[in-house]
Amino acid sequence: MIRQEQCTVISQNKLAENIYELTLQGELVHEMKEPGQFVHLKISGGYDPMLRRPISIAEILPDESRFKMIYRAEGRGTVMLSEKKPGDYADVLGPLGNGFPISEAGRGDTALLVGGGIGVPPLYELSKQLVSHGVKVIHVLGFQSASAVFYEEKFAQLGETYLATVDGSAGTKGFVTDVINKFKINFDVLYSCGPTPMLKALENQYSHKTVYLSLEERMGCGIGACFACVCHTGDDPDGYSYKKVCSDGPVFKAGEVVL
Amino acid sequence: MNSLNVSLPGLELKNPIMPASGCFGFGREFSQLYDLSQLGAIMIKATTFEPRFGNPTPRVAETSAGMLNAIGLQNPGLEKVVNEELVWLEQCNVPIIANVAGSQEEDYVAVAKKISASPNVHALELNISCPNVKTGGIAFGTIPEIAKNLTKKVKEVSEVPVYVKLSPNVTNIVEMAKAVEDGGADGLTMINTLVGMRIDLKTGNPILANRTGGLSGPAIKPVALRMIYEVSQQVSLPIIGMGGIESAEDVIEYFYAGASAVAVGTANFVDPFVCPKIIDRLPELIEKLGYEHISECIGRSWKKHEKAAHYCS
C-alpha cells in the first residue's frame, strides 16, 4: 500500500562525486515488496522545489524500519536533499511502482545485473534478494569515470562484479556491453537499470533472452494520475496503447514498451 | 450543520472542493489512497471523440512555485471513457463533471451529447482552453465569437448544465466570459493554465518536448484571483475557481474573489491527500472568520455593502 510519511534522516554519506547515500527511517519500509520500487520525495516544505522527486530504493532494512537511497545531487532539488542532516525529516510517498520480478530467476540460475550510473542503486537490493533465493549473480556496472564509482565492494561481496568506465579510469574502458562481450558472460535472466541508450543496446543484443529493464522518466504525481511519464507499448508502437512508467513500471519486460 | 454544501447548476455538492481536470485521471489512482465520496465532485480528465496518445515526453517541467505540463489531452476516447471509466466511477458515489475537448466543433458536440447522458455526469466542463494541442483548442478559447458559437452548439445537445473553462491567455477575459454567457453557458470554470516555457541549460533546448506548456500551481494564483474578481462582477454565471489552490485559506480567497466552488489541481501531485485535508479544515476556518456558511464568502472582495451589513447584523 502507498503511504505518505515524515521519515527521519538517519545518515547521509557522500559516496562519490555528487553521489550521496541517504538512509531514512519510517514505517512505510514495511510496505516495500520488490526491489526496483521507488519513493517520491518532497524535499522542502515550501515551493522550492515544489514537486516531489522520484528516487529508487537501493536497500531495504525492514528489521530497523530503514531504507537507503543513492542519488546524484544534480538539480536544485537533489542538491537540497544532499544538505539534509541526521534528525531532519523527509516527506516520503511510497513505495511506488512495480519492481524487478525476482522469481524469474530460479535457484541455481545465473542472473546478470547491469547498471549504468545512477541506475546502479536499485540493483543492490535486487542482488541481495536474488542471492538470498539461491541465485548466482554477476554485476556489470558502468560509470563515467573512476570518480563516479560507488558500491563496487558491496556488489563484489554478493557476486562477480565488473566495471566499465567511459574514460577507462576504472575497469574496462567502454560501455557495459563491451564488458559483457569481452568476458563472454552467460546468464539466464538479465536485469538492468540505467540510461535509455544502454537499455536499448541490451534489449537489441538479448532479444532472445529473459530481460527486465527499469526506465527513468520525468514524473508529476508518481501514482499514475497525471500522464506525464507515459510510453508507447511494444505491440502498438505508434498507436494509442500506453504504459505509465510510474505505476505500470518502472520495471518492464524487454519489448513490453518502446524505449 | 453543514457549512460547506453548495448548489450550482446541475450540482448539489456536499462541499465545494473538487480535483481539477487533468490532475486526477479518472479517479482510479486516488481511490487507492482515500474514499472519493468525500469530495464535492470530480472533474475527470479531458475526453476527446477519438483516443489520443498525447505529446512526446518530457511532458512536465518544474518552475518556481509551479509546473509546466504539455500532456496533450491523452485519453482513451469517448467510447472507453463512457463505457469503462464512468461506469467504474459509479461505485465511488461522487458527482462527475466531464471535461469535453476537441479540435473541431463536431467533435465537441459528439462528445458532449454522449458523455452528458451518463448517469453520474452532472455537468460538463467545456475545454476551450487547452494550450497543448496544435489544432482547435486555443482558437475556441481566445476568439469570443467562436467560443460563443461553440457553447451554443454544445448546449443544444447536452443533457446537463455546461460550464465553460476559460483560458487566461487572452487580453480581455471579461469579453470571453460575456461571450460564452451569451452562448448559453450555465457556469464558468477558470482559469486554465498560462502558456510558458523552460529551457535546459545543457542542451539549450526547451525542456518540454512540446516546447511550450501550461503553467499551473501557486505561481498562477494571483492571475486567477484577479480574473475571477473581474469576471464575477460582470457576468451572472457561477464560477468554479482554480489555479494554485492548496489550502483552506486559498479556498476562501477564491470565494472572496467571486468563486462559488473551487478545483484543486497541481497540489494533488505534491500532496495526494490535499483535497480531503482542505475539506476537513474548511468548517473551522469559516467559523473563525465569522461566517455560518461558505456561500457568505462569495464575492466579498467587491460586495462592500453586504460585507458591512454582515458585520452590523
**Where do the domains of chain B lie?**
6-297
Q: Report how many helices (DSSP H) and strands (DSSP E) chain B contains, helices first.
A: 12, 14
Of residues A50, A230, A247, nearest to B74 (C-beta): A230
C-alpha A160: how far from its chain's center? 19
> Which chain B residues touch A2 with a CB distance below 8 Å?
32-33
- Domain B6-297 is found in CATH 3.40.640.10: no
The response to whether A72 counts as a known ligand-binding position is yes
Taken in order B264, B267, B272, B273, the sign of the CA dihedral is negative
The response to whether B45 counts as a known ligand-binding position is yes
pLDDT in tens, chain A (259 residues): 999 999 999 999 999 999 999 999 999 999 998 999 999 999 998 898 999 999 999 999 999 999 999 999 998 899 999 999 999 999 999 999 999 999 999 999 999 999 999 999 999 999 999 999 999 999 999 999 999 999 999 999 999 999 999 999 999 999 999 999 999 999 999 999 999 999 999 999 999 999 999 999 999 999 999 999 999 999 999 999 999 999 999 999 999 999 9
> Annotated catalytic, B130?
yes
Of residues B59, B76, B270, nearest to A50 (C-beta): B270
ipTM for the whole predicted complex goes beyond 0.85: yes
User: Look-up: residue for cell 519510517?
Assistant: A26
Catalytic residue among B130, B275, B297, B312: B130
User: What's the CA gap between B145 and A152, in Å, rounded?
Assistant: 66
Residues constituting chain A? 259
Q: Which site among A227, A229, A245 would you substitute to test the B interface, given the most B Cβ atoms closer than 10 Å to its Cβ?
A: A227
Classify strands B162-165 and B121-127 as parallel, antiparallel or unpaired: parallel
> Which chain A residues touch B271 with a CB distance below 8 Å?
4, 42
**Domains within chain A, CATH numbers bracketed:** 3-96 (2.40.30.10), 102-214 (3.40.50.80), 216-258 (2.10.240.10)
Mutual orientation of helices B173-182 and B221-234 as an angle, nearest 10°? 50
Mutual orientation of helices B105-115 and B144-157 as an angle, nearest 10°? 30
The response to whether A162 counts as a known ligand-binding position is no
Cβ atoms of residues B167 and B142 within 8 Å: yes
CB contact under 8 A, A240 and B273: no
Give the DSSP H or E segment for B15: none
User: Look-up: residue for cell 486555443?
Assistant: B138
Note the pTM of the prediction, 2 decimals: 0.93
CB contact under 8 A, A225 and B268: yes
